Amino acid sequence: IECFDIYADNCRSFGRPETSLFYYLKSAELRENINTVYTTNKTVNLLGAIGDLLFQMQEYRQAIQYIRRAIDMPLDNKGNHTGSINTLAMAYQKTGNYDSALYWYEESMKTAIASNNHLWEGIVSGNIGSLYFEKGEDSKALPLLWKDYYSCRDAEPNNAANTLHRIALIYLHQQKKDSALLLARQAVRVLENTPPYNAAFAANSYRALGDI
């Protein structure tokens, strides 16, 4: 089991998500067959990692299943797992289940606040803002997106730039075209010059710039 875990971790680190997923799944299968090692914090982390990889592969419904299994495991102390709960919320959002997405974003925010993790507070705020943005509720989205931007611009500049493209589009909706153009250009500039290059974020910023 440990060999599978270590190999999967390394494959994930070196950009081989499919191979990583295969060995994580093998590890989870073995753990489930050996009850004494299944209900552990390591298994919770493993199921969360599987869910994260499935989300990256756009297998949102399967991602939901694995992350929910991790959350529902009967352990007294599973840690905060802010990131996995946030991924669960994003998966619900991707499937159009906004009520469930909002519920799990709020749960993720609680864990971030409990651990005094201001970066994650900002990230989750931005994701809630993106949900309201998708629903066309710009007035609710805007302050949450700005909170995300200011929380992440130093530690996670690519994430901050991706948030900025949504703010730019809200300003476009408000007919503040000069501000919208300025922010969209800034988002593109950051994403073009900040490694690692994120193609999905870049595509978002280019589309926003084109709309403006």
Task: Choose among 150, 151, 154, 212: nearest CA to 183.
Answer: 212
Residue 141, amino acid: A
Q: Torsion angle, CA of 55/60/65/66, rounded to 10 degrees? A: -10
Given a contact cutoff of 8 angstroms between Cβ atoms, the answer to whether 31 and 57 are in contact is: no
Residue 76, amino acid: D
Q: Please give the Cα distance from 124 to 108 (Å, whole number).
A: 7
pTM of the model: 0.87
pLDDT by residue, tens only, the chain of 212 residues: 889 999 999 999 998 999 999 999 999 998 888 866 666 778 888 899 999 999 999 999 999 999 999 888 876 555 557 788 999 999 999 999 999 999 999 999 999 999 999 999 999 999 999 999 999 999 999 999 999 999 999 999 999 999 999 999 999 999 999 999 999 999 999 999 999 889 999 999 999 999 99
